[in-house]
Amino acid sequence: MASAGARTRAVAAEVVDAVVSAGQSLDAAIAAHEGKLPPGDRSLLRMLSYGVVRHQFRLQEWIDALVSRPFRKRDSVVNALLAVGLYQLRDTRIPDHAAVSQTVEATRALRRPQLAGVVNACLRRFGREDLASVPARSEASKWNHPAWLIERLRADWPDDAAAILTANNARAPMWLRVNTARQDVADYARRLADAGIGATSWDGVPGALRLAEPQSVDDLPGFADGDVSVQDAAAQVAGPWLMAAQPRRVLDACAAPGGKTGHLLELDPGIALTALDSDPERLGRVSENLARLGLDATIVAGDASKPEEWWDGKQFDAILLDAPCSATGVIRRHPDIKLLRRDADIDALRALQRRMIDALWPLLQPGGRLLYVTCSVLAAENDTLVKGFLETHDDAVEDTVLHNNNIRDVMRRKACGYQVLPGTAGVDGFFFACLVKKVS
Amino acid sequence: MVLRVAPEIMAKLKILEFPDPRLRKKAVPVESVNDELRTLIGDMFETMYDAPGIGLAATQVDVHKRLLVADVSPDKSEPHALINPVIVEKDGVTVTDEGCLSVPGYYEEVERAEQIRVRFLDRDGEEREMEATGLLAVCIQHEMDHLEGKLFVDYLSEAKRQRIRKKLEKERRHTAVVM
């Protein structure tokens, strides 16, 4: 009987190839392919796919050094398989002989048996010639990031670029948001401990718990009943910040998948909350999330940059604009961003963000607050954008008071707004700017 | 279990591939457990580990005797060699994605007993009984099918089996040209 290990490598190669050659997102590619494997093999599939995508630049440099000529386009999946093989040799505890034999055998499952010899020769040469200790030939492969992004990070963060790049390549911890309306954090931490799950709290965000090891949500006590949600601690900063002024009519623009929507309602179930998103399919996830938490919002499908298409004309006293962005602050969770984003996307995103904030501003009541949030670390989408907005809106002023003193240590003050850098205190990279509408 | 044969004299054997008609031969019982057979067992382990596989029947290396080897551990730590195996008890049902070294690259769901009790001769010719569950139970049943001339693709639909056969034949022609 054949070992199933070869097939897991083959499916990992298909996932990586879908991202690298077809531009599919890593999560979508895994969802599309993992059904080929029995459930027990899927965690290895995830580990291999994420690892390879995370280190793609360096792995490809090795492949280019090992093969005499590049693989033909129709054999791109074998290029991906070779990356899967090299990743196992370099970065995992899988014994070398198993990594090589399973990866070579995977050429059969990929219907490319004629390339088994090439894969075998390359994997064996990699170890023999100790390519791993040869210095990287480009900045891109040294840092496992595209050159354009390295350049932008160095320009925006001259002193922190190396730390950001390093943090982006680390695996992210799993953070929970305890529904503190139902129980306090210490109580929930005890329930986790009883279930054998280790967790630590963080002063920066009182409702957050960081798990010692990622878990399936099905294993989290009370998850199905809404006692707890999965959300990075940095994302948990937004809700309390916006709710500090006790607003009554609140708009959550770009709400899907509903993580922050639920948080706003947990903090005050009495608010009238409109959850807006342009993607009706993703709005379904908002409904699911709220149903799990036993909370309710008015869910609206609409474009945040075109309120005339959906707004009822009644102003809000608080708006959360968690704007679509480059997601360069969450690369550690979504390493495919490094392969899928292009430099030109940043300008397009900035234009969209500006259209949204401009369009939503009139919906805010005088005295009300708009919290602009991104999971980007690029100035173009963050402080530069907010500064440009403030310069053209006389009735807008930034409120620089942090609602919570404990996050002061991790918040970097920018020309406008605050930035949390990825990896600081184990959290994702986020930007926040709180804008208040002057009462004339 | 320590292999009785020194590694340097072990040899890798050629694995027959579907639809080779020799895979359809029914194996005959082993009459004497001797050094020649123990050498074959060592060679079969070597061939299986190299493939890489978790089980191999003698039929697959063109020896038509009732003998199989298996090791479902990730680190080659649980080798089993079963001579003249007979299943004396079966219990439960389990469905596993099976693959076969004689049908390379294909994996399909097959239903088998979840737990078995198997009687066999060990490498010293002693009669023994063993209880197996999970993957080992599935693997032993898969290998015992080989001894009857049966392959896991026989559990699939005729159309699916023909598709796999045609693809493998085509691949083999292609490989012959390239290599």
* Confidence (pLDDT) at A406: 82
pLDDT more than 70, % of chain B? 91
* Confidence (pLDDT) at B4: 47
* Confidence (pLDDT) at A28: 96
CA distance A97 to chain B (A): 9
How many beta-carbon pairs below 8 A join chains A and B?
Answer: 73
Residue type for position B36: E
Whether A14 and A75 have beta carbons less than 8 Å apart is answered as: no
Closest Cβ–Cβ partner in B53, B167, B175 for A2: B53
By C-alpha distance, the chain B residue nearest A101 is B52
pLDDT band at B175 (very low <50, low <70, confident <90, very high): low
* Confidence (pLDDT) at B176: 57
* Confidence (pLDDT) at A383: 97
* Confidence (pLDDT) at B5: 46
Segment 29-58 of chain A within 8 Å of chain B by CB: 37-38
3 state DSSP class of B11: coil
Q: Give residue-wise pLDDT tens across range A131-188.
A: 999 999 999 999 999 999 999 999 999 999 999 999 999 999 999 999 999 999 999 9
* Confidence (pLDDT) at B9: 60
A1/B101 Cβ within 8 A: yes
pLDDT > 70? residue B43:
yes
**What does the pLDDT average to over B1-27?**
78
Q: Give residue-wise pLDDT tens across range A170-181.
A: 999 999 999 999
Whether A423 and A163 have beta carbons less than 8 Å apart is answered as: yes
**What does the pLDDT average to over A244-249?**
96
**What is the average pLDDT value for chain A, to the nearest integer?**
95
Give the catalytic positions of A in this structure: 375
pLDDT band at B75 (very low <50, low <70, confident <90, very high): confident
pLDDT > 80? residue A110:
yes
> Would an 8 Å CB–CB cutoff place B55 in contact with chain A?
yes
B70/A37 Cβ within 8 A: no
pLDDT band at A95 (very low <50, low <70, confident <90, very high): confident
**What does the pLDDT average to over B142-162?**
95
- Residues of chain B in contact with residue A98, where contact means CB-CB under 8 angstroms, are 52, 74
Best of B110, B141, B170, B175 to disrupt the A interface (most A CBs within 10 Å) is B175
- pTM, full prediction: 0.87
Distances in whole angstroms, Cα of residue A432 to Cα of each of A234, A381, B123: 10, 11, 71
Q: How many residues does chain B have?
A: 179
Whether A11 and A45 have beta carbons less than 8 Å apart is answered as: yes
Q: Which residue segments constitute the domains of chain A, with CATH numbers given?
A: 4-131 (1.10.940.10), 175-230 (3.30.70.1170), 235-437 (3.40.50.150)
pLDDT band at A403 (very low <50, low <70, confident <90, very high): confident
**What is the average pLDDT value for chain B, to the nearest integer?**
90
- Residues of chain A in contact with residue B178, where contact means CB-CB under 8 angstroms, are 114
> Would an 8 Å CB–CB cutoff place A298 in contact with chain B?
no
Distances in whole angstroms, Cα of residue B98 to Cα of each of A109, A393, B140, B147: 13, 66, 12, 17
CA distance B48 to chain A (A): 9
By C-alpha distance, the chain B residue nearest A7 is B105
Cα distance between residue A61 and residue A64, in whole Å: 5
**What does the pLDDT average to over B103-120?**
94
> Would an 8 Å CB–CB cutoff place B52 in contact with chain A?
yes
* Confidence (pLDDT) at B179: 42
A114/B179 Cβ within 8 A: yes
By C-alpha distance, the chain B residue nearest A5 is B52
- Residues of chain A in contact with residue B68, where contact means CB-CB under 8 angstroms, are none
B52/A3 Cβ within 8 A: yes
Closest Cβ–Cβ partner in B52, B97, B106 for A102: B52
**B143 belongs to the catalytic site:** yes
pLDDT > 90? residue B7:
no
pLDDT > 70? residue B6:
no
> Given B127, B143, B148, B158, which residue is catalytic?
B143
Closest CA to A220 of A199, A200, A240: A199
pLDDT > 60? residue B111:
yes
pLDDT > 50? residue A234:
yes
Q: Where are the alpha helices (DSSP H) in A76-145?
A: 76-91, 96-109, 116-128, 139-143
Q: Give residue-wise pLDDT tens across range A281-304.
A: 999 999 999 999 999 999 999 999
CA distance B97 to chain A (A): 7
Q: Give residue-wise pLDDT tens across range A247-274.
A: 999 999 999 999 999 999 999 999 999 9
Cα distance between residue A16 and residue A23, in whole Å: 10
Q: Give residue-wise pLDDT tens across range A308-364.
A: 999 999 999 999 999 999 999 999 999 999 999 999 999 999 999 999 999 999 999
B105/A108 Cβ within 8 A: yes
Residue with tokens 């608080």: A318
